[in-house]
Chains A and B, each alone.
Chain A
Amino acid sequence: MKILVTAKRVEDPESKIKVKPDGTGIVQEGLKYKINPFDEIGVEEGLRLIAKHDPKGEVVVVSIGGKEVQEQLRHALAMGAHRAVWVNHTGPLDQLAIAGLIQKVTEKEKPDLVILGKQSIDDDQNQVGQYLAEFLGWGQATFASKVESLESEAEKNKVPAVTLTADGKAVRVVREVDNGLATVECQLPAVVTTDLRLNQPRYASLPGIMKAKSKPIEELTPAKLGVDVTPTIQVLKLSSPPARKAGIKVPDVATLVDKLHNEAKVV
């Protein structure tokens, strides 16, 4: 079994994001970078599926970007992924380009499953997995989640939450949707996107980090893959959201209710 997992480079979710005064970008100083949290969950899920169903199988990670994205690939390799593919490209990429590039890598690698994050925490688009599934003509199961609590025994036992059906020809996925949980079954090969509650990613161990240094990273480019990456989105201007005006602290509940009733008029 082969599973392809994406690993996008994003700002650390703890970072303070500030817009440059001229609105052309964000202030880069002091920012730390990480693998997109949803993608880290994807790597974990891939590793668990392989461990359970085919220990001889492979998790291949792919990232698109400049040479700095190798850091995220090394992180995934340190977690236990087997190989990495780096699509070397600097400059803006829209979802058509990213999905197009991942499509070509998928056609080359022929995995049974591609796992992506449901969204990236910088652009917050929530699109690439679905574009990819359509481009490949595959089934999709987005927002893969877990029924039990992450603090449960089941989590501690690391039971895979995306399950292969008995015949091994499909995956059964529980999805987080409005008002509940939907379950779908996708014939393999398929595309799955991860929600936050799918699993708790493992830490990369020291031996894992040492080993990752010698694992191969294959370099590709959009030209080699034959994908036109001319952007179809123009980001014209960035701005900060309007600040909320400073509120007050009230000494007791009676004052709070008085303010809610007479000032805000919401009760």
Chain B
Amino acid sequence: MPIVLIVAEQQPDGNLRKASLNAISAGKQLADKAGAELHLVLLGKEPAKVADELKGSGAKVVHLGAAPELEHYLAETYAPAIAALAQELKADYVGMASTAQGKDLMPRVAARLKSAMATDITAINGSGADLTFTRPMWAGNVFAEVKLTTPVKVFTVRATEFAAAAGGQGAAEVKTFAPKVEASKTKFVDFKEVKSARPELTEARVVISGGRGTKGDFKEIEALADDLGAAVGASRAVCDAGWVPNDLQVGQTGKVVAPALYIAAGISGAIQHLAGMKSSKTIVAINKDAEAPIFQVADYGIVADLFKVLPELRQELAKLK
């Protein structure tokens, strides 16, 4: 039986990265269409910590590879271990969420397997040997249907396009294995985490993003985000200026989000920004310029100064409670 192998990711704090659950859903869909078996793999110093969460997510087998050398993620140490497991299992497909780690790691795994790869897939089409992937190109202006013709096929998954796998779907067999650890020419130095009490941008139900129109003053955006339990996002212009941390950037080259509600304040709506938020269910645009392109994708637009609108919005929302 063909095998789909999905790589799960442990965050530096030891928890499972939630996007892994979306990748597992995509893996399950792929396994159904290909008539294959779904396997998961997790590497790390202590991968067993999140094994329980993976066990009930619908896979047949969860492979746990623990080694002290794998404490800090590096593509150079993780790729050989995953490629070796994929070869041993004779996996036909190897996939992972398109997180920073997924994008860093999977091409290296694919290179080791001499495989073609598709980045950021949004859909799986066809069945059996006739499977194709859909993936965005040109900042989401174009969707391409691609077929990989190498024996092993590698991909990363755009998390917002697949529901997160729920728990309680049977119990996978958990197998531990000794990962193949190779010497690395790269060494981990440190990780500076941007800590936030707000929800993770890619998982939040509501996202409030600010653009250059804020002139770097995010106070009203943050206050509204706190009222709504929302995440804060930003345009590239804002991150480049150093007004907010880089990992809040939404867009083609930042994060892709698809919340129930996306509020864009002082953002013009360049195509590269739209690429990261166009799949949001409801979009609200607040912009002084009635001609701003953001209004072309917004369900509700308001032509006004964001410093006037945001406080009013908080007051009106408070009345609903």
Contacts and interface: CB of A to CB of B under 8 A. Distances in A.
Contact of A131 (B111, B190, B278): B111
A187 interface: yes
B32 interface: no
B76 A140 contact: yes
Interface string A34-65: 00000000000000000000000000000000
B281 interface: yes
B84 to A, nearest CB: 13
Contacts of A231: 149
A233 B111 contact: no
Interface in A121-155: 121-131, 133-135, 138-143, 145, 148-152
A56 to B, nearest CB: 26
Contacts, number: 264
Contacts of A244: 278, 283, 296-297, 299
A90 interface: no
Contacts of B319: 257
Contact of A134 (B112, B132, B241, B271): B112
Given A151-B241, A247-B295, A13 B148 contact: no
B189 A184 contact: yes
Interface stretch (A70-78, A94-102, A206-214): A94-102
Given A142-B104, A254-B316, A266-B282, A124 B252 contact: yes
A149 B241 CA distance: 5
A176 B185 CA distance: 20
A232 B76 CA distance: 24
A159 interface: no
B116 A96 contact: yes
A32 B299 CA distance: 32
A99 B261 CA distance: 40
B104 A130 contact: yes
Contacts of A118: 253
Interface in A108-130: 118-119, 121-130
Chain B interface residue number, banded: 35 or more
Chain A interface residue number, banded: 35 or more
Nearest to B114: A96
A232 B309 contact: no
Contacts of B187: 184-185
Interface stretch (B35-43, B51-59, B300-308): B300-308
A10 B137 CA distance: 12
Contacts of A151: 240-242
Contacts of B246: 145, 176, 181, 197
B240 A149 contact: yes
A166 interface: no
B185 A130 contact: no
Contact of A248 (B137, B301, B313): B301
Contact of B76 (A139, A195, A239, A257): A139
Given A134-B111, A150-B241, A249-B302, A235 B146 contact: yes
A152 B188 CA distance: 27
B1 interface: no
Interface stretch (B95-103, B162-170, B173-181): B95-103
Contacts of B116: 94-96, 232-233
A82 B112 CA distance: 33
Interface stretch (B22-30, B61-69, B85-93, B191-199): B191-199
Contacts of A197: 239-240, 246
Given A124-B120, A131-B110, A152-B242, A267 B317 contact: yes
A241 B143 CA distance: 6
Contacts of A140: 75-76, 104, 108, 186
B118 to A, nearest CB: 8
Given A130-B108, A141-B186, A184 B79 contact: no
Contacts of A164: none
Given A19-B142, A184-B74, A234-B147, A196 B108 contact: no
A223 interface: no
B142 A238 contact: yes
Contacts of A1: none
Interface string A224-252: 00000001111111111100101111101
Residue of B206, B241, B316 ringed by the most chain A CB atoms within 10 A: B316
Given A134-B108, A232-B149, A235-B145, A267 B236 contact: no
Contacts of B149: 231-234
A247 B298 contact: yes
| Closest 8 pairs between A and B when the two form their complex, measured CB to CB | A149-B242, A130-B107, A134-B111, A139-B186, A139-B185, A127-B107, A177-B100, A183-B189
Given A127-B110, A249-B290, A266-B261, 20 more contacts: A130-B75, A131-B110, A150-B241, A180-B192, A180-B245, A183-B189, A183-B191, A184-B188, A185-B187, A233-B116, A237-B145, A238-B137, A244-B297, A247-B283, A248-B300, A253-B312, A256-B300, A257-B320, A264-B281, A266-B281
25 contacts: A17-B138, A26-B138, A94-B116, A121-B138, A122-B138, A124-B120, A124-B137, A130-B105, A131-B108, A139-B185, A139-B186, A140-B104, A151-B241, A151-B242, A181-B246, A196-B253, A232-B116, A232-B150, A246-B296, A247-B283, A249-B301, A257-B316, A259-B300, A266-B281, A267-B317
